[in-house]
Structure 1
Amino acid sequence: MLMSGKDLLAVANENYFAIPAFNISDWAMGKGIFEISEKLRAPLMVAIHPDEVAHLGRDALPAIIQRAHRSSVPVAIHWDHGGSYEQVLEAIQYGFTSAMIDASMQPFEDNVAITRKVADTAHAVGLSVEGELGTIGKLDEQAEEGVAVSAITYTDPQQAVEYVERTGIDSLAVAIGTAHGLYPKHMKPELKLDLLREIKELLPIPLVLHGGSGNPDDEIGQSVKLGVNKINISSDIKVAYHDRMREVLADTTLREPLVIQPPAIAAMQEVAAQKIHLFDAAGKADLY
């Protein structure tokens, strides 16, 4: 069933689990993510970045939304990393039920102003809004453009309280040590869990982690217990999907997508299932 991001995350916040927000870039990926979520009875956010929307084409979005309506688990369709007020208006037009406005690289007052404007407009038509304070690192050139920098600016807890009060957002993406993309072998990802604990003590709303691919499972699991209620996963499932597809395509006689894609979808689902269990989301659809 399709619902707003606010309603989806409220249950996660009350019950200390995290909703997986899987970024999809084509219909086959989306179909696979719906199916594994339903198999594991896990609530789901289908996250689609503006670049992914452009790749999919807006005509594909009604089919994704219709699939969410008939899903046996609760689903929100989330506009990921909207970079402007105008982009969030697109999300409203296309039928998304949740939207992120990412003005985190703007000065604080500018971030507040644009996020407040987005929240006022989106709330008027039933969309929930995610904002971001602090900046998340960027590890490779294929990470989402315009949403990450080479160095992390950690979220300031007291400033986060002011930001949430002044903007009226429904959830907050925090910068505690994650990064977009894949970590090179020489880098060790590390979350500042004490900072997360401090932020959660001050803010009752759901907290969000972006750039969750590649962080140690034990840290991600702890972050869920400390109050993270949504974690974005993009690189991990795309690597699994396309690596397996490359292996299949080593047989150059293959040409039919219905032969080529199923093994790739299965590889992606294996990774997605591991994330669902890590976030303690399996079986939680029954709470709605």
Structure 2
Amino acid sequence: MLMTGKDLLAVANEHNFAIPAFNVSDYAMMNGLFEISEEKNAPMIIAIHPDEVSHLGVEAILAIRERAHKSSIPVAIHWDHGGSYEQMLTAIQAGFTSVMIDMSMRPFDENVAVTKRVVDTAHDVGLSVEGELGTIGKLDEEAEEGGEIIYTVPSEAVDFVKQTGVDSLAIAIGTSHGLYPADLEPKLRIDLLQEIKALLPIPLVLHGGSNNPDSEIAEAVKYGVNKINISSDIKAAYHDAMRKELENKGLREPNTIQPPAIAAMKKVAAHKIDLFEAAGKAELY
């Protein structure tokens, strides 16, 4: 069933688990993620970044909506890392049920102003909004390293939520977009997460969790993260498996090449669902 991000995350916040937000860039990936989430009876967010929207085409959102309506699990369709108010209008018109406006690289006052404008418009048509405060480095779908992390300041987070009215907040506590370079060890600030969660009742979001140890991610879920974005991990599994299939030069049909890639991706996705304690939680909706 298709839901807004706000309704989906409210249950996760109440019952202390996290919902995976899987970034997809083709329809076969999307179908595989529906299949594994349904097998595990887990709620899911289909997240699509502007670059992925341009690759898929906004027309594909109608098909994803239909798939969600027919699903046995609760699903939100989320525009990830929207870069402007105009993009959010496109998301509303295309049929997304949740949007993220990311002005985290801008000054605080500008972040507040643009985010509030998005919230006012989205709430008028029943959509939920995620904002971001603090930064987690490069916003590059193929980045190999994340760059500088600017940690979220708890007091600023409280002011930001009050002034904007966002339904959920992405915070920076030590993750980074993309895959970490081999010489950098990721480390989450669980103490900072606990401080922010004690001050804010809304769902908190973790971006850039690739390569963080499972033990840290589990702690983040325990202490209040309710949505975790997964992009690099599932795409690496999907495309690495596809490369192996393509070594057989005789293959040419997608329905021969893609199933092993989908299976590899589903294995990673299943692990994330279990790690986030989302398995079986569809029964709560």
Question: Structure 1, residues 86-145: CA drift from partner, whole Å, max 9, x if none?
Answer: 00000000000000000001100000000000000000001000000001123977149x
Give yes or no for the alignment of 1:217 onto 2:214.
Answer: yes
Secondary structure at 2:235's aligned position in 1?
helix
Using the size of structure 2 for normalisation, the TM-score is 0.98
Name the structure 1 match of 2:38: 38
Name the structure 1 match of 2:75: 75
Residue identity in the other structure for 1:219 = E
Give yes or no for the alignment of 1:165 onto 2:162.
Answer: yes
Structure 1 runs (4+) greater than 6 angstroms displaced: none
- In structure 2, distance between residues paired with 1:82 and 1:256: 34
* 8 A contact 1:139–1:182 mirrored in 2: no
Name the structure 2 match of 1:155: 152
Name the structure 2 match of 1:254: 251
Name the structure 1 match of 2:173: 176
1:57-72 matched pairs, under 5 angstroms: 57-72=57-72
Using the size of structure 1 for normalisation, the TM-score is 0.97
- In structure 2, distance between residues paired with 1:100 and 1:163: 15
Question: Structure 1, residues 186-228: CA drift from partner, whole Å, max 9, x if none?
Answer: 1100000000000000000000000011111000000001000
Secondary structure at 2:129's aligned position in 1?
strand
Name the structure 2 match of 1:189: 186
- In structure 2, distance between residues paired with 1:115 and 1:143: 26
Name the structure 1 match of 2:53: 53
Tell which deviates more after alignment, 148-157 or 188-197. 148-157
Structure 1 residue 265 displacement after superposition: 0.1
Secondary structure at 1:166's aligned position in 2?
helix
Secondary structure at 2:77's aligned position in 1?
strand
Give yes or no for the alignment of 1:99 onto 2:96.
Answer: no
Structure 1 residue 184 displacement after superposition: 1.2
Secondary structure at 1:190's aligned position in 2?
coil
Residue identity in the other structure for 1:9 = L
Name the structure 2 match of 1:285: 282
Name the structure 1 match of 2:197: 200
Secondary structure at 1:179's aligned position in 2?
coil
Gaps of 5+ in 2: none
* 8 A contact 1:135–1:149 mirrored in 2: no
- In structure 2, distance between residues paired with 1:232 and 1:24: 11
- In structure 2, distance between residues paired with 1:117 and 1:217: 37
Secondary structure at 2:116's aligned position in 1?
helix
- In structure 1, distance between residues paired with 2:148 and 2:143: 14
The 3 A distance-change label for structure 1 pair 149 and 239 is closer
* 8 A contact 2:79–2:91 mirrored in 1: yes
Residue identity in the other structure for 2:172 = A
Name the structure 2 match of 1:124: 124
Aligned residues: 285
- In structure 2, distance between residues paired with 1:240 and 1:183: 16
Question: Structure 1, residues 1-28: CA drift from partner, whole Å, max 9, x if none?
Answer: 0000000000000000000000000000
- In structure 2, distance between residues paired with 1:121 and 1:138: 28
- In structure 1, distance between residues paired with 2:141 and 2:157: 29
Give yes or no for the alignment of 1:232 onto 2:211.
Answer: no
Name the structure 2 match of 1:6: 6
Name the structure 2 match of 1:90: 90
- In structure 2, distance between residues paired with 1:287 and 1:22: 20
Gaps of 5+ in 1: none
Identity percentage of aligned residues:
71
Secondary structure at 1:46's aligned position in 2?
strand
- In structure 1, distance between residues paired with 2:143 and 2:266: 21
